[in-house]
Amino acid sequence: MGSIMDELVRPTENAALADGATNVLIQSWCPLRIVGHLGLVLDGTTYTVVRGALTDSPVRPDCYAL
């Protein structure tokens, strides 16, 4: 999980994990979502994605989550 707004990891591709990992930018689901590096851990949209992935539920991002 990453963000195109990340102010610490540049270029964004440097955040990608290899071999078996699914690398996703939050803006691929919610293009207008503004969230930076540290904000990802507090972001509601990120939470809904991670929760879905960890519980084997369908990943349904909530672009309006706080």
Residues 13-56 have pLDDT tens digits of 776 777 777 788 899 999 999 999 899 999 999 999 999 989 98
Domain ranges (residues) in the chain: 1-66
Per residue in 33-44, pLDDT (tens digit) is 999 989 999 999
Which of 59, 64, 66 is closest to 1 using CA atoms? 59
Stated pTM of the model: 0.76
